[in-house]
Amino acid sequence: MYRVALVCLGNICRSPIADVVVNAELRAAGLADRVEVTSCGTGTWHIGEPMDTRAASVLTGAGYDATRHRAQHFGADWHDHDLILVMDRANLADVLAVLPADRHDRVRMFRSYDPEVATTDPDDVPDLPDPFYGGPEGFDDVLAIVERTAHRLVQELALVR
């Protein structure tokens, strides 16, 4: 089983949205039995809590099931994942600080799979904006980015053996 971790700050907005969408894409592509995707946060504030109600609302409105999520914390025990996708540069720094150096090559920015990102330089891949302190439109924007990125990510994961 190929294992993917999706990481944001609190594991209540961006990474759970990505988790739900990527898993839906994996099921649609017939890959759910080959790829396991989970999400977590670098902070510990929300462990065990459901996702933010605004995140759940935008997912439900788009036809996804947002009921199963419970926030988890990213720690050294996550080092065995094959691919670790972070939502922003702060998450990147936090993850790299915890992982052994020989695992750093497994870490990438989530939006490196975004078909609208026109760079091949990992240092120039944009963050997935954090909608936590904004209004509902920020969650709509995040979902749109996540959906197109998840589609491309799953196409790439289909090539993994």
Cβ atoms 22, 102 nearer than 8 A: no
Q: Which two tokens stand for residue 117?
A: 């990102």
Annotated catalytic residues are: 8, 14, 130
Q: DSSP characters for 10-28?
A: SSSSHHHHHHHHHHHHHHH
What three-state secondary structure class fits 85? strand
Local structure of 100: helix, strand or coil:
coil
